[in-house]
């Protein structure tokens, strides 16, 4: 697959029902990296993977009251963090693309969250 077809995306949500919230959270943990409460990073997703996530999220949400937004990120996007780290000890950054995305941003800055 062409690298240009792969895309990083920010997925954010506001879900009104705790049961739906749990289902959506668990689903997203399987396909994206949790950055904050209700904020996930989907890294290097192919067109097919992006579509599959959108279809699944559409099935899980209640469109009358829930809000899920997906923001495509520029290819060379760097993150900037202000304040405390986004994740506590135990997060292991196993993929080089995720390390590269977070490098220089202060997001993975020796707080015990890097492998």
Query: What are the pLDDT digits (tens) for 62-86?
Result: 999 999 999 999 988 887 878 876 5
CB atoms within 10 A of CB 109: 13
- Rg (C-alpha) for the chain, rounded Å, is 15
Distance between CA atoms of 1 and 47, rounded to whole angstroms? 10
For the cut 70, the answer to whether the pLDDT of residue 18 exceeds it is yes
Whether 78 contacts 42, CB under 8 Å: no
One of 3.30.365.10, 3.30.70.240, 3.30.565.10, 3.40.640.10 is the CATH number of 3-74, namely 3.30.70.240
Query: How many residues are present in the chain?
Result: 115
Return mean pLDDT, the chain.
80
For the cut 80, the answer to whether the pLDDT of residue 111 exceeds it is no
Q: Where are any strands of DSSP class E within the chain? A: 7-14, 33-36, 39-45, 67-72
């Amino acid at each position: 697959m062409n690298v240009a077809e792969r895309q990083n995306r920010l997925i954010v949500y506001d879900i009104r029902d705790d049961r739906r919230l749990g289902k959506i959270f668990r689903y997203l943990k399987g396909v994206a990296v949790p950055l904050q409460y209700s904020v996930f990073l989907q890294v290097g997703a192919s067109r097919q993977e992006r579509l599959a996530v959108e279809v699944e999220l559409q099935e899980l949400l209640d469109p009358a009251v829930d809000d899920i937004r997906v923001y495509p990120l520029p290819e060379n996007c760097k993150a900037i963090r202000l304040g405390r780290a986004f994740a506590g000890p135990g997060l292991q950054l196993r993929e080089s693309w995720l390390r590269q995305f977070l490098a220089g941003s202060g997001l993975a800055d020796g707080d015990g969250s890097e492998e």
